[in-house]
Structure 1
Amino acid sequence: MDHERQLAPSPFPGDGGLADPATRRALAAALGATDPAGYLRAVAALCTARLLVPVVATATRLGQTVGGLASDKEAEMSVVMLQAADGRRALLGFTGLDAMHAWQADARPVAVTVDKAAQTAQAEGVTTLLVDFAGPHPLVVDGEVLASLAAGRRLVETAPGEFGWLVASGDAGTP
C-alpha cells in the first residue's frame, strides 16, 4: 500500500488567514439589510474572496499508553458539518482564522473558493453553507444561490442594485 501523498500547491500562496476587509463589510451590511441587494452583495463579495473550511481530527482507532491512558492510534481529518434539530445540515466556512478559531480553536483551515465550498456541500448532501457561524457577521447561503455557486457561477453586481451570474463560456447551456 502506497502511503505517499502529493499535496497540490495552494491556490492562495502567502495567505496569512486574515479576512478580507471588503468581504467582512459586505457581510456586516447584509446582516442589517432590509432589501435583497445587501444579501446579494455579500454573496458577490464571497465570490472574489477565499473561505476557510474547517477540518478536525476524529479518532478511527484507539489504543492505550504504557500508563493505561487512552490515546488515538489512528485519526482521520473530517470536514465539519452542523446539523439542525430537523435534520438539515450545513457546511461551515469562515472568512478568516479569527472567526474560525472563535468557533473552535483546534480546527484546521482549508482555503477554498466559495464555488468549491458549495460543490463540497452538494457532494455531501448538505443544503446550506454557513459563513462565519460564530461571527462577526454570519451569512446563510442556500437554495438556488448555493446551486449556482456549486455549478461554478459567480454572482456580480452589474449596476447598482442589479446582479447577474457570471458563467464560464463553456457553461452557457448548463442549468
Structure 2
Amino acid sequence: MSEHDKFTDSAGVPWEGRSFHENPFSSDTGEADPELLRALLEFKTSSSNQSEVVMAFANARVLIPLIATLGESGEGAHGHQVDKSAELSIVSVRTPDNQNGLPIFTSVESMSRWNPKARPVPNNGRTVALAAVSEGNTRVVLDPGSETEFVFRRPALEAIAQGFSWSVPNLNTEVIEIVDSALANIAEVRNFTLLNADPSAKLLGHELEVVIYLAADLDKTRLGEIQKEFLQEISTSKRFVELVDSVGLKFLPAS
C-alpha cells in the first residue's frame, strides 16, 4: 500500500482550508414540522387564510423528493438488458393551470403515499422556495394527494425566498390601492370588492377575483370596453404583477 502526505487526502487534495458543518437535520425523524402541520390543519378547518401557512412554511423543515432515473443501460453477459447506472434527480410536475410545480412534502409518510420509491432530502422552506424560483417553477405543491395538500403560487414563493412577509391579494392594501386607482376614471363604476378566488389553495380558480359594481343598463359593448380598460391599467403596474399571480373579473349591477 502506498503512503500519501498526512496533510492531504487520498486524492492529494490538501486538508487545509476545509471546514465541516454540522448537519442540522441529522436527528430528523421524518415527521411533519409541528408548526407547519398546525398551520395547515387550522387552515383546512377554520377561517384562517393562506398567509399563516406561508409564514410557517418559510421556517419549517420540509422534504424534497429525489427520484431515480436511468442513466445508462446496456446488454448483460446473457443478452439481457441491464441498468448500468442511475441518477437521483429532483422532479417537477405540470399543474392543473399548466404551470411548472415542485412537489414538496411535510413528512416521509406523505411522500411515500405520493411515490414509495422517492428518497427524502430535508431542507427548510425558504431554501426550497429560492430553488423553485431559480429553476423557473411558479408553483410549489405541498403534500400532493394528501389531506394537507397546499399550493404556493409565484408571489408567495418570491416573498418566502426573499424573507418578506406575504398576504393574500384580496387583503393586501397595495393591491386594493392599485385596483382603486385603475377604476377611478371609469365613470360607470360605483364600487368594487376583492375576493380570494382560490380559498382552498388547490389551484381551483384565479388567485384574485375583482368584482366591479356598475351603473345599470350598460350594453355588452361598453362592458367589453370597461374590461379592456381595467385589465390594461393593472397590467402596466409592475407592483400588481409582482403581487398577484392571476386575476378574474366579474361585473355586477350596483344596488
TM-score by length of 1: 0.75
Give the count of matched residue pairs: 154
Could you tell me which of 127, 132, 136 is aligned with 1:125? 136
Aligned twin of 1:77: 88
- Name the structure, 1 or 2, with higher relative contact order (CA <8 Å, separation 6+): 1
More strand by share: 1
1:91 aligns with 2:102: yes
Query: CA, structure 1 residues 66+8, in 2 after alignment: closer, same or farther (shift >3 Å)?
Result: farther
Contact 1:31/1:138, CA 8 A, preserved across alignment? no
Gaps of at least 5 residues in structure 2 are: 1-10, 14-19, 168-241, 243-255
* Percent of residue pairs identical: 30
Query: CA, structure 1 residues 108+74, in 2 after alignment: closer, same or farther (shift >3 Å)?
Result: same
One-letter identity of the residue aligned with 1:92: P
Aligned twin of 1:65: 76
Aligned twin of 2:62: 51
Aligned twin of 1:30: 43
Q: Tell me, what secondary structure is at the counterpart of 2:88?
A: strand
TM-score by length of 2: 0.53
Which of these two proteins has the greater Rg computed from alpha carbons? 2
Q: Tell me, what secondary structure is at the counterpart of 1:144?
A: helix
One-letter identity of the residue aligned with 1:13: S
CA distance in 1, matches of 2:147, 2:99: 23
Aligned twin of 1:151: 162
Aligned twin of 2:153: 142
1:123-161 Cα shifts (integer Å, max 9, x gaps): 2111001111121311111121110112244669xxxxx
Shift of 1:29: 2.3
Gaps of at least 5 residues in structure 1 are: 157-174
Query: CA, structure 1 residues 67+31, in 2 after alignment: closer, same or farther (shift >3 Å)?
Result: farther
Q: Tell me, what secondary structure is at the counterpart of 1:47?
A: helix
Contact 1:33/1:39, CA 8 A, preserved across alignment? no
Q: Tell me, what secondary structure is at the counterpart of 1:27?
A: helix
One-letter identity of the residue aligned with 1:38: N
CA distance in 1, matches of 2:145, 2:21: 29
One-letter identity of the residue aligned with 2:30: G
Which range moved further: 44-53 or 68-77?
A: 68-77
Which range moved further: 84-93 or 109-118?
A: 84-93
One-letter identity of the residue aligned with 1:28: L
Query: CA, structure 1 residues 155+50, in 2 after alignment: closer, same or farther (shift >3 Å)?
Result: farther
Cα RMSD (Å) of the superposition?
A: 3.0
CA distance in 1, matches of 2:22, 2:30: 16
Contact 2:58/2:126, CA 8 A, preserved across alignment? yes
CA distance in 2, matches of 1:9, 1:65: 42
CA distance in 2, matches of 1:83, 1:132: 15
CA distance in 2, matches of 1:64, 1:23: 48
